[in-house]
Amino acid sequence: MSSILRRGEPVVVVEPVSVTALSFTEYVMSGQRGRINIVSEQRDVYLGTDPWVCGFYNPMRDAMRRAANSTDPDAELDAAVRSASRNGQLRAFEEVRQGFLPWLRGTRATGVQVSSAKWAAGELTLRVRPHLGLRLPDGSKAAVLVYLKEREMTQEAANVGLRILQQTVRDTLPDATPLLLDARRGRAFRMAKRTNLAKLDALIAAEAAGYVVHWRMSA
């Protein structure tokens, strides 16, 4: 946050806060003690102040998209593993490969194009673009956010990402079922029919307000 002078009056200029739906989901799952740290890390990524963390998983994400339409998905993931050059990348990429490939084969899906959308909660704007669009053998579609990090995803945190996908899927991949894939463990989460959406929406609104506060405190 900064201020400028106009006709002698201080005018507060509020920094807009915009991150991806997955980054916000990771914030929600980080717990009270970890939230300042994770927002600081995410600021480094989005503002480009730490080149080491920027794009750490990009080679693997690209390989996963190619794998969905490849006759040899193993080769796509193997190539990404061989490209690992940063500290920690090799182990991370190998674990993603081990979890993702059996899951992808089990779906028997092929890739389809997805689009982008934006979703806002208070002062937080989320950029929503499924990492994978899939067409299943029965003709149905899935819009998939892919989580790649070491910490295990939980259903409670996944519900946040799933709800955001659910509310934007008409723009990103119409008629698709939202999924959130924990790629290292090959586990895909979906929204349970019994989920109380009113309570979930209230939680998301509260977490979005908290994210904005933590973002600005980390400046």
Average of per-residue pLDDT across 60-86: 96
- Binned at pLDDT 50, 70 and 90, residue 36 comes out as confident
- The conformation of residue 125, written as its DSSP 8-state character, comes to E
Report d(CA 122, CA 146) in Å as an integer: 25
Q: 19: which strand partners?
A: 126
Average of per-residue pLDDT across 82-100: 96
The answer for residues whose C-beta is within 8 angstroms of residue 179's C-beta and 6 or more apart is: 142, 143, 144, 145, 162, 165, 188, 189, 190
Average of per-residue pLDDT across 83-110: 96
Do 204 and 156 touch, CB atoms closer than 8 A?
no
Report d(CA 159, CA 144) in Å as an integer: 13
Q: Look at residue 15 and tell me whether its pLDDT is greater than 80.
A: no
Amino acid 217: pLDDT: 83
Closest CA to 28 of 210, 151, 197, 193: 210
Tens-digit pLDDT profile for residues 161-185? 999 999 999 999 999 999 999 999 9
Q: CA distances (Å), 173 to each of 1, 91, 112, 130, 158, in order?
A: 36, 32, 9, 9, 19
Mean pLDDT taken over the chain? 89
- Binned at pLDDT 50, 70 and 90, residue 48 comes out as low
- Say which residue, 31 or 210, is predicted with more confidence: 210
Q: Look at residue 206 and tell me whether its pLDDT is greater than 50.
A: yes
Report d(CA 219, CA 209) in Å as an integer: 16
Amino acid 55: pLDDT: 83
Which residue type is seen at 22? L
- Binned at pLDDT 50, 70 and 90, residue 54 comes out as low
- Say which residue, 124 or 34, is predicted with more confidence: 124
